[in-house]
Amino acid sequence: MIQDPEGVVLALFAAFCRIGGCILVLPGFSTARLSTTIRAFLALTVTVALLPVMWDQLYPKIRGTTPDYLLLCLFESLTGVVLGMIARFYALGLQFLGTVATMMIGLNTPPAADILEDASEGQLTNIITFAGLMVLFMLDFHHQVFIAIADTYRTIPPGAVFDPQKALVSLTDTLSATFYVMLRLASPFILFNVLFNLAIGFINKLAPVVPVYFISAPYMVMGGTILFYLSAAAMLSLYADAFGPIFR
pLDDT digits (tens, 9 = 90+) for 84-102: 899 899 988 888 898 899 9
Residue spans of the domains in the chain: they are 5-247
Residue that wins the pLDDT comparison between 66 and 118: 118
Residue that wins the pLDDT comparison between 11 and 81: 81
Confidence grade of residue 66 (pLDDT, cut at 50, 70, 90): low
Looking at residue 1, its pLDDT comes to: 43
The answer to whether 122 and 102 are in contact (CB under 8 A) is yes
Query: How open is the CA angle 57-160-81, to the nearest 5 degrees?
Result: 90
pLDDT (mean) for 56-64: 73
The answer to whether 75 and 171 are in contact (CB under 8 A) is no
> Does position 57 have pLDDT exceeding 60, yes or no?
yes
- Long-range contacts of 189-196, Cβ-Cβ distance < 8 Å, separation of 24 or more: 189/100, 189/101, 189/104, 189/105, 189/224, 189/227, 189/228, 190/100, 190/104, 192/104, 192/105, 192/223, 192/224, 192/227, 193/103, 193/104, 193/105, 193/220, 193/224, 196/220, 196/223
- CA dist 13 → 50, 69, 73 (Å): 12, 10, 8
What 3 state SS string does the chain have?
A: CCCCHHHHHHHHHHHHHHHHHHHHHCCCCCCCCCCHHHHHHHHHHHHHHHHHHHHHHHHHHCCCCHHHHHHHHHHHHHHHHHHHHHHHHHHHHHHHHHHHHHHHCCCCCCCEECCCCCCEECHHHHHHHHHHHHHHHHCCHHHHHHHHHHHHHHHCCCCCCCCHHHHHHHHHHHHHHHHHHHHHHHHHHHHHHHHHHHHHHHHHHHCCCCCHHHHHHHHHHHHHHHHHHHHHHHHHHHHHHCHHHHHC
Q: What percent of the chain has pLDDT over 90?
A: 15
Confidence grade of residue 64 (pLDDT, cut at 50, 70, 90): low
pLDDT tens-digit map of 220-243? 889 989 999 999 989 989 998 888
pLDDT (mean) for 149-154: 84
Looking at residue 52, its pLDDT comes to: 84
Residue that wins the pLDDT comparison between 130 and 67: 130
pLDDT, mean over the chain: 84
Confidence grade of residue 8 (pLDDT, cut at 50, 70, 90): confident
pLDDT (mean) for 108-123: 77
Residue that wins the pLDDT comparison between 214 and 180: 180
pTM of the predicted structure, to 2 decimals: 0.84
pLDDT tens-digit map of 155-204? 888 877 888 888 898 899 999 999 999 999 999 999 999 999 888 888 87
pLDDT (mean) for 34-38: 83
